Amino acid sequence: MAGWSTRRRFVETTAALSGLLAGCKRQTSAGVEEGPRRIGKPLRPYGERSEFEKAARALPTTKILEVGSSFTPLAETPGIITPSALHYERLHSGVPTIDPAEHRLLIHGMVDRPLIFTMDDLRRLPSVSRICFIECAGNSHLGYGRRDSPTVQLSHGLVSCSEWTGVRLGLLLSEADVQKSAKWILAEGADACKMQRSIPIEKAMDDILVAYGQNGEALRPEQGYPLRLVIPGWEGNANVKWLRRLKVVDQPYMTRDETSKYTDSMPDGTAREFTFAMEAKSVVTFPSGGQKLPGPGFFEITGLAWSGRGRIERVEISTDSGTWQDADLSEPRLPMAFTRFRLGWRWDGREVTVQSRAIDESGYVQPSHEELVAVRGANYEYHNNGIRVWKVNVDGTVTDAAA
C-alpha cells in the first residue's frame, strides 16, 4: 500500500507539473517535443489498440444484428493473422453467453464409449496449434451476378485467418471408439438455434480441430467461446461454433444449412450439395476499391491468397490486363492459411487495372469471373473464388473494374 500511495503521489505531481509546463513546450524541426515531457499512460492488465487506429468490421445495414455477417477489413490487416477482434462474424441466432465451467461436449451415437468432456477435461488432452483461414461459403457472393461491392472489405471480408489451438477431433473420436459402420458426424452448437452440420467421418478423423484457443487467448465469444470446430480449408458454416455435441452417424442429416442454404444452384436447376472445400483464391488489398493513390510513383502491391486444398504455390499479378508476373510470397506459407504476397510497382499515373490469381499446390489456377460464370451460371451464389479486378483511375481513386 505504501508503494501504491507513493506512486499515486508521483503520478499526481507529474501530471500537475506537465499541466503547468504544457504552455511552454516547443517543437524541434523533426516535430519531436523538447524540454519537459508529459509522462505516458500507466501499465494496464489488458491492452487496447492505439486511439488513432480505426479499422473495424463492417456491419450489415439490416435492423436485426443477431443474424448475418460482419466483414473483416482485409485492406487494414497487415501480415497473415487477422486480429481476433476483427475476425469476420457469422451469426444465425446471436452470440450466446456460455460459462466455460458449465459447458460440456457430448460425443455419442455410433461409438462404443459415449463420452462427456468438460473444458478442463479437454485442456488435459494433447493439444495442437495451427494457423488456418476460415472463409464463409458466401464470401464474394455478390460476384456471380451483381458485382457491386465497392471495397475489398465488402467483396472479400468474409474470410479471416487465426492461429487455433485445441484437441484433434480424431483423438476424441478414438477415445469414444467409433464403430466401423460410422460414416458422418453431426455437429451441434449451443447457440439459441442449436445449429447443426453433417461432416464426413474421414475429414473428422483427419485434421479437424476442436478448438478453445485463438491467437494466444481463449476464443472470442462471437467465434464460438468456449469451444468450436475448426475444419481446415472447408466452408465456414461447417466450422460449428459453441460446439456442444457430436453425434456419430451413418448418413448426413440434411439439415437446413446443408440443403436450403450453402448449396450451389446450377443453370439446369440442380444444386450441388456438400461443396465443402474452399478453392484457391486471392485478392489484391492494396490498391483496392475505396482507396486513393496520392499520385504517380512507387507503391507496393500486396494482398492475400489462400486455398482449401493446401499451400499456395504461386501468386501472379497483372497491372496491364494481359501479362502476369510472379509476386513475392512471404513466409510462412502454410497449407490452408493466408499467404501474403507483395510486388513492388511504379504507377505512371495512367488508368490501369490490378488483379491477382493464385495457384495452389494441387496445380489449380484461380479462375476468372467469366470462367466461373460459364460453368456455374449467375445464380451459384456461394464459393465464388473468381479473380477480382481493381481499376486505378487517373485521379488515383480505386474502383471495382467490373462496376
Partner 1 sequence: MRLPKCAVALICAALAAQSPKYGVGRAPAAEEIRAMDLSILPDGTGLPEGRGTVAEGRDVYARRCARCHGANGEGGDEPKQAPLVGGRGSLKTPKPLKTIGSYWPYAPTIWDYVNRAMPLDRPGTLTHDQVYSLVAFLLHMNGIIGENDVLDAKTLPKIRMPNRDGFVPDTRPDTGKQAKKPAVKTSGS
Q: How far apart are CA 97 and CA 383, in angstroms?
A: 31
Cell numbers at 360, concatenated: 495452389
Using CB under 8 A as the binding rule, whether residue 128 contacts partner 1 is answered as no
Task: Please state the closest distance from residue 33 (CB atom) to partner 1, in A.
Answer: 52
Q: How many CA atoms lie within 13 A of 126 on its CB side?
A: 6
Q: Judged by CB under 8 A, which stretch of 49-57, 76-84, 266-274, 345-353 contacts partner 1?
A: 266-274
Q: 2 or 64: whose CB is closer to partner 1?
A: 64
What sign results for the dihedral spanned by CA atoms 180, 259, 237, 369?
positive
- 114 lies in the binding site for partner 1 (CB under 8 A): yes
Closest approach, Cβ 295 to partner 1, in A, equals 38
- 271 touches partner 1 (CB under 8 A): yes
Provide the b/e sequence for 214-223 (b: ≥16 CB within 10 Å). Answer: bbeebbbebb
Does 244 help bind partner 1 (rule: CB under 8 A)?
A: yes
Residues 21, 371, 394, 395: which binds partner 1 (CB under 8 A)? 371
Cβ atoms within 10 Å, residue 249: 17
Residue 269 in the binding site for partner 1 (CB under 8 A)? yes
Report the residue number, 195 or 312, with the smaller CB distance to partner 1: 195
Answer whether the bond into residue 226 is a cis peptide, omega within 30°.
Answer: yes
Does residue 196 bind partner 1 (CB under 8 A)? yes
Q: How far apart are CA 210 and CA 219, in angstroms?
A: 11
Burial track 288-322 (b if 16+ CB lie within 10 A, e otherwise)? bbbbebeeeeebebbbbbbbbbbbbbbbbbbbeee
Helices (H), 239-290: 256-259
Q: Segment 274-333, which members bind partner 1 (CB under 8 A)?
A: 274-277, 279
Place of cell 476460415: 134
Q: Which stretch binds partner 1 (CB under 8 A): 95-103, 130-138, 245-253, 282-290?
A: 245-253
The strand pairing partners of 326, in sequence order, are: 316
Contact characters 139-178, partner 1, x per CB under 8 A: --------------------------------x--xx-x-
Kindly state whether residue 266 participates in binding partner 1, applying the rule CB under 8 A. yes
Are the C-beta atoms of residues 209 and 167 closer than 8 Å to each other? yes
Q: Give the integer Cα–Cα distance in Å for 337 and 360.
A: 11
Strands 264-265 and 398-400: unpaired
Residue number, 37 or 113, with CB nearest to partner 1: 113
Q: State the nearest-atom distance from the C-beta of 264 to partner 1, in Å.
A: 8
| Between 169 and 195, CB nearer to partner 1 | 195
Q: Among 253, 310, 361, 397, which residue interacts with partner 1 (rule: CB under 8 A)?
A: 253
Distance CA 139, CA 143 (A): 9
Joined grid coordinates for residue 42: 500507466
Q: In this chain, which of 81, 106, 182, 293 binds partner 1, going by CB under 8 A?
A: 106
93 binds partner 1 (CB under 8 A): yes
Rule CB under 8 A: choose which of 57, 90, 92, 156 binds partner 1: 92
Q: Please tell me the distance from the alpha carbon of residue 347 to that of residue 352, in angstroms, as a whole number.
A: 9
- Sequence-distant (≥ 6) Cβ neighbours of residue 29 within 8 angstroms: none
| Dihedral sign for Cα atoms in the order 213, 217, 221, 225 | positive
**Binding segment for partner 1 among 1-9, 37-45, 112-120, 331-339 (CB under 8 A)?**
112-120
Asked if 369 interacts with partner 1 (CB under 8 A), we say no
Q: Choose, by CB under 8 A, the member of 193, 205, 218, 293 that binds partner 1.
A: 193
Q: One-letter amino acid identity for 342?
A: R
Using CB under 8 A as the criterion, which residues of the chain lie in contact with partner 1 when the complex forms? 62-64, 66-67, 92-93, 106, 108, 112-118, 121, 124-126, 171, 174-175, 177, 186, 188, 192-196, 244-245, 247, 249, 251, 253-256, 259-260, 263, 265-277, 279, 362-365, 367, 371-372, 375-376, 378-379, 383
